[in-house]
Amino acid sequence: MGDLFSQIEQPEREEILALRKELEDANYRYYVLNMPTLSDREFDEKMRRLQDLEAQYPDMFDKNSPTQHVGSDLAESKAKGRKPKAGFEQVAHRYPMLSLANSYSLDEIQDWLRKLPADAEIVCELKYDGLSISLWYENGNLVKAVTRGDGQKGDNVIDNIKTIATVPWHVDGVPAHFEMRGEVLLPWESFERLNREREEQEEPLFANPRNAASGTLKLLDPKEVKRRGLTCYLYYMLGEDLPADNHFDRLQTAKQWGFPVSDAMKVCRSLDEVNAFISYWDKERKNLPVATDGIVLKVNNLQQQQSLGYTAKTPRWAIAYKFPAERQLTKLRQITYQVGRTGVVTPVANLDPIQLSGTMVQRATLHNEDFIRSLDLREGDMVWVEKGGEIIPKIVSVEHQTASSPSRDATETQEGQAFVFPTNCPECGTPLVRVEGEAAWRCPNESGCAPQQIGKIVHFVSRKAMNIDGLGEETIELFFREGMLRNIADIYDLHKEDIARLERLGDKSADNILAGITASKQVPWARVLFALGIRMVGETTAKKIARRFTSIDTLQWATKEELTTIDDVGDQIADNITAYFLDMRNLEIVNRLRQAGVTMEATETEQEVVSDALAGKSIVISGTFAHHSRDEYKDLIEAHGGKNVGSVSKKTSFILAGENMGPEKRKKAESIGVPLVTEEEFLAMLQ
Ligand code: IVH
């Protein structure tokens, strides 16, 4: 009888599980990806069906079921379950994630081939230059996406991986448990767009698509991950009861199942065929949408793979051939110097133009004096310029004596002479200073050196500072040339007629700029402090300082001792602040800003929230919350003198524990005796 019952019940139980998964996915697609796949009606029908079934089978109750997200407003509660997590779940790899032996010459490839069984077939594939990922499928469902980590354990970044349209969340007719491994990449186009945006917002640029993909995969905001547009190629299947007896057929099967497997793959039976594959793709890869840095050669037959086995770090059945970085010989015509916003003088190589990896190169940074000396570079030298994984071309060496490079025998007067770093600023003539321990030479004329003056104004108006719309870098340079702007205080003396008379601006732009300037007077004190551009006082530090010193008057008279009690403020920053207020020119600028109506103190409400209730406390936030967002809690902790930290350690004072707190964190907290504080208890502390 019992058996009969469970047989009848079984399909319903499976339906409950399937519906939960489907509704969870639908939530995710709707709230996180903004890409709904079910109509509201379908969603509600399925939800009702799940509720009915759960009522029928109370033993199947699960507090994580989509029916159990609290609140009457379904949308709100569904979204709540999807707030970004505190970090990523760490997962032990079922099979270690190994790397590949690298080779840089065809000779090495030939040596490797020689050691293989005579009848071995070789699969040649592209070596994608991204991050490796392992996708875990259980009963056809994608259940985890684990990064390589240290090879033994990695981070489960499944929410971010699910933003990649080509990665299936479910596949039919597949083994019960298997992993697909591959590479996550940010296509060139997305990478370039992302860097353009970062440039506009004055955020540091990613050096190459791999760094950008890595930064993106570790974001806690899948919406932003989706917006950036990652992609993925899979090249390895692992597990039990897998199809085919060779790697190539296995990947073809994976492709049929719907996995993103590249077409750039070939079974080769001779060195010649391998060579042909390499030379074809060394050229053709430049037309691919993603970065590749070589070819991977794998023994096709899985039994042969098994008998070849592994070293501690790499399989013996595979090897990578890395494409040589593109390099070219060209003439270093001249060394010029660039002065940055902070006065750092950077030498720049001006080259005879060359074509490298599809772009024209005629300039390359020479970093600093030590770099030039270490290569013994001189104007007129023939130099090797390389463009590898890094996007920025670099000079790697000097070709001192070749037929095409008489180099040091150069007859032209300027050329061939020993290099001497300038002693004076190339922009304003001020003698340069080199701070002990630093490689850079700096122009100390902060308020009278054009690039530094312009840089300060550009920083002042930038989005995270005063956010003055319409006043971009080009316009600032134009105003500077016209003598309308010399420092940040001049901004508030700009007149409509002066702006409107300039070519390419006119009435409308003038109104727009002036409206932005007026609006900037409402920018809160912490951002004004950041906008002043005091050396090393970044956005976060400015916030912390502004919380302690709630007006410019109190800050101006702050002592070094007082300043260094602020979290993040060390001796150097404290010295920079006191030096800023000792300079009469700065005091005059501050006065003019104040007279113009720029905010120079925190408002009462900003001041009100400040207390020392959490002074000296290190607090970890984990889980999801009902009253405030995680970011709001972070701000609250800081506003009350506490410190928000990412991971639990003996130094942690307590964990602000919300719902669904990470199990790892809970375990760790219990084992080292760190107390958990609920949301309500925490809010009570701040009363
Ligand atoms: S196979 C056990 N195939 O290169 C062998 N790896 O430098 C597993 N990679 O960690 C790797 N393209 O992240 C394989 N077609 C390809 C690849 C590839 C890129 C990466 C992978 C690996 C790294 C080693």
DSSP letters for 515-530: HHHHHHTTS-HHHHHH
Q: In what order do the strands lie in the sheet with 177-185?
A: 89-92, 153-156, 141-147, 131-138, 177-185, 231-239
Q: Which of 93, 102, 128 to mutate to test the pocket of ligand 1 (most atoms within 8 A of CB)?
A: 128
Q: What is the pLDDT of residue 74?
A: 23
Asked if residue 86 lies in contact with residue 228, where contact means CB atoms within 8 angstroms, the answer is no
Q: What CA–CA distance (Å, rounded) separates 443 from 190?
A: 37
Q: What is the pLDDT of residue 407?
A: 52
pLDDT at 428 over 50: yes
The pLDDT tens digits of the residues spanning 622-654 come to 888 888 777 778 878 887 888 888 888 888 999
Ligand 1: which atom is nearest the Cα of residue 318?
A: 5
What average pLDDT does this structure show over 90-114? 92
Q: Find the length of the chain.
A: 687
Q: How confident is the model at residue 589 (pLDDT cuts 50, 70, 90)?
A: very high
What's the DSSP call for residue 169? S
| Average pLDDT over the chain, rounded to an integer | 87
User: How many angstroms separate the alpha carbon of residue 99 from the centre of ligand 1?
Assistant: 6
In this predicted structure, which of 90-94, 402-406, 489-493 has the lowest mean pLDDT?
A: 402-406
Indicate whether residue 98 lines ligand 1 (CB < 6 A).
Answer: yes
User: How many angstroms separate the alpha carbon of residue 149 from the centre of ligand 1?
Assistant: 14
What average pLDDT does this structure show over 437-446? 90
Q: Whose CA is nearest to atom 21 of ligand 1?
A: 132
Q: How confident is the model at residue 127 (pLDDT cuts 50, 70, 90)?
A: very high
User: How many angstroms separate the alpha carbon of residue 87 from the centre of ligand 1?
Assistant: 26
Q: What CA–CA distance (Å, rounded) separates 634 from 598?
A: 28
Q: What CA–CA distance (Å, rounded) separates 117 from 308?
A: 9
User: How many angstroms separate the alpha carbon of residue 504 from the centre of ligand 1?
Assistant: 53
Q: What is the pLDDT of residue 663?
A: 80
What average pLDDT does this structure show over 479-508? 92
**What sign does the CA torsion over 366, 370, 374, 379 have?**
positive
Q: How many CA atoms lie within 13 A of 405 on its CB side?
A: 20
Q: What is the pLDDT of residue 104?
A: 87
Indicate whether residue 446 lines ligand 1 (CB < 6 A).
Answer: no
Cβ-Cβ contacts under 8 Å for 171 (sequence gap 6 or more): 137, 140, 257, 258, 259
Asked if residue 65 lies in contact with residue 54, where contact means CB atoms within 8 angstroms, the answer is yes
pLDDT at 604 over 90: no
Q: What is the pLDDT of residue 300?
A: 98
- Residue 596 vs residue 198, higher pLDDT: 596
CA nearest neighbour of 634 among 614, 650, 605: 614
CA nearest neighbour of 149 among 86, 104, 87: 87
- Residue 226 vs residue 436, higher pLDDT: 226
User: How many angstroms separate the alpha carbon of residue 539 from the centre of ligand 1?
Assistant: 39
Ligand 1: which atom is nearest the Cα of residue 320?
A: 7
Q: What CA–CA distance (Å, rounded) separates 655 from 56?
A: 38
The pLDDT tens digits of the residues spanning 230-286 come to 999 999 999 999 999 999 999 999 999 999 999 999 999 999 999 999 999 998 998
Q: What CA–CA distance (Å, rounded) separates 193 from 199?
A: 10
Indicate whether residue 235 lines ligand 1 (CB < 6 A).
Answer: yes
CB atoms within 10 A of CB 107: 9
Q: Which of 152, 183, 261 to mutate to test the pocket of ligand 1 (most atoms within 8 A of CB)?
A: 183
Indicate whether residue 339 lines ligand 1 (CB < 6 A).
Answer: no
The pair of three-digit structure tokens given for residue 427, joined into one six-digit string = 């922009």
User: How many angstroms separate the alpha carbon of residue 97 from the centre of ligand 1?
Assistant: 9
Pairing of strands 643-645, 618-622: parallel
Indicate whether residue 127 lines ligand 1 (CB < 6 A).
Answer: yes
Ligand 1: which atom is nearest the Cα of residue 132?
A: 13
Ligand 1: which atom is nearest the Cα of residue 183?
A: 13
Q: How many CA atoms lie within 13 A of 63 on its CB side?
A: 2
Q: What is the pLDDT of residue 73?
A: 22
Q: How confident is the model at residue 27 (pLDDT cuts 50, 70, 90)?
A: confident
CA nearest neighbour of 234 among 181, 187, 285, 178: 181
Indicate whether residue 296 lines ligand 1 (CB < 6 A).
Answer: yes
Asked if residue 587 lies in contact with residue 487, where contact means CB atoms within 8 angstroms, the answer is no
The pair of three-digit structure tokens given for residue 336, joined into one six-digit string = 């010029």
Q: What CA–CA distance (Å, rounded) separates 212 from 169?
A: 24
Indicate whether residue 180 lines ligand 1 (CB < 6 A).
Answer: no
In this predicted structure, which of 181-185, 295-299, 620-624 has the lowest mean pLDDT?
A: 620-624
The pair of three-digit structure tokens given for residue 229, joined into one six-digit string = 């547009």
Q: What is the pLDDT of residue 609?
A: 55
Query: Given the structure tokens 């699960």, which residue do they identify?
Result: 62
Q: What is the pLDDT of residue 32?
A: 62
Q: What is the pLDDT of residue 462?
A: 92
pLDDT at 480 over 60: yes
Q: How confident is the model at residue 76 (pLDDT cuts 50, 70, 90)?
A: very low
CA nearest neighbour of 136 among 77, 164, 176: 176
127 is catalytic: yes
Q: What is the pLDDT of residue 79?
A: 34
**DSSP codes, 539-552:** HHHHHHHHHHS-BH
Q: Which of 123, 180, 235 to mutate to test the pocket of ligand 1 (most atoms within 8 A of CB)?
A: 235
Q: How confident is the model at residue 411 (pLDDT cuts 50, 70, 90)?
A: very low
Indicate whether residue 99 lines ligand 1 (CB < 6 A).
Answer: yes
Task: Spot the catalytic one: 127, 298, 331, 394.
Answer: 127
- Burial class of residue 328 in the structure, from the number of CB atoms within 10 Å of its CB (0-12 exposed, 13-18 middle, 19+ buried): middle
First to last CA, the chain: 61
Q: How many CA atoms lie within 13 A of 148 on its CB side?
A: 14
pLDDT at 207 over 50: yes
Q: What CA–CA distance (Å, rounded) separates 574 from 563?
A: 6
Alpha helices in 359-485 (DSSP H): 369-375, 450-461, 473-481
Ligand 1: which atom is nearest the Cα of residue 98?
A: 2
User: How many angstroms separate the alpha carbon of residue 100 from the centre of ligand 1?
Assistant: 6
- Burial class of residue 98 in the structure, from the number of CB atoms within 10 Å of its CB (0-12 exposed, 13-18 middle, 19+ buried): middle
In this predicted structure, which of 252-266, 382-396, 426-440 has the lowest mean pLDDT?
A: 382-396
3 state SS of 364: strand
In this predicted structure, which of 36-45, 356-365, 379-388, 677-686 has the lowest mean pLDDT?
A: 36-45
Query: Given the structure tokens 């008998």, which residue do they identify?
Result: 307
Q: Which of 104, 124, 127, 247 to mutate to test the pocket of ligand 1 (most atoms within 8 A of CB)?
A: 127
Q: What is the pLDDT of residue 196?
A: 86
CB atoms within 10 A of CB 113: 17
User: How many angstroms separate the alpha carbon of residue 434 from the centre of ligand 1?
Assistant: 45
Ligand 1: which atom is nearest the Cα of residue 314?
A: 2
